[in-house]
Structure 1
Amino acid sequence: MKRFLPFGLIMLMIIFICGFTSKEFPTFSVQHHINGNQVMVECVVTGISFRELDHKKDKVGKLVLWVDGEKNQEVKTAAFIIKDLSPGSHKLKLEVVKLNNEPYGLAEEFVVNIPK
């Protein structure tokens, strides 16, 4: 019996590791470009679809945009434009959430400076 205990633990570790490597862990990155008082945003999200009817993926979600700590809008596309920002510095936060607004734990924050 004692002989089989280390073997059983090793097998459980292998099953545990293989189970996690076969699943796709979501990742999130953001690029932005300022054009006047607009910010063009491009997001790369892996493992999560923005299409509500996408049955191929297990995870479906949307982006929530926060400007200066206040919720600004919900976005269901990976590329979009933030329009009519006032001149000055703005802290932007993008958060990937489920359709019921439960967070996936994926967020990016950055600061933009809109020229006068």
Structure 2
Amino acid sequence: MKRFIPLGLIMLLSVFILGFNKQEIPSLYVKHHTKGNQVMVECIVTGISFRESDHKKQKVGKMVVWVDGKKNLEIASAAFIIKNLSPGSHTFKLEVVKLNNDPYGLDKEFMVNIPK
């Protein structure tokens, strides 16, 4: 019986610590669709908020969009459209960064082909 008390206490503390320490590991999932000369991008970002008012609740950031190696825009939204792309192949890079532009280490690259 004495052996079960420490084991039970350890299990109870583990559940308590894991239950109240729910910091998500940040991750980035990207889905894109090309329509004419536009690319519609949808992102699922876990563990990071794009709302500046969430400073106390979780990590806050923004997304930097690179097209063909050039910084195209900064966005604070998980879904957006890149318009007026020229015909041909384009490389996109999405990077989630802190508000001061320090990287979180989350980025995705993909290629699209805009028809003539």
1:31 paired residue number: 31
State, as a whole percentage, how many aligned pairs show the same letter.
69
What does the per-residue CA deviation read over 1:1-51, in whole Å, with 9 as the maximum and x for residues that have no partner? xxxxxxxxxx9xxx8xx67x7421001010000000000000000000000
Secondary structure at the aligned position of 2:53 is classed as coil
Contact kept? 1:28, 1:45, Cα under 8 Å:
yes
Unpaired segments of 5 or more residues in structure 2? 1-9
Alignment TM-score, normalising by the size of structure 1: 0.80
**1:62 is aligned with what amino acid?**
K
1:92 paired residue number: 92
**1:103 is aligned with what amino acid?**
P
Unpaired segments of 5 or more residues in structure 1? 1-10
RMSD, aligned CA? 1.9
Contact kept? 2:28, 2:106, Cα under 8 Å:
yes
1:101 paired residue number: 101
List aligned pairs for 1:4-19, cutoff 5 A. none
- Aligned equivalents of 1:80 and 1:22: distance in 2? 29
- Aligned equivalents of 1:23 and 1:40: distance in 2? 30
Secondary structure at the aligned position of 1:53 is classed as helix
- Aligned equivalents of 2:47 and 2:104: distance in 1? 11
Alignment TM-score, normalising by the size of structure 2: 0.80
Kindly tell me the number of residue pairs found equivalent between the two proteins: 101
Contact kept? 1:48, 1:57, Cα under 8 Å:
no
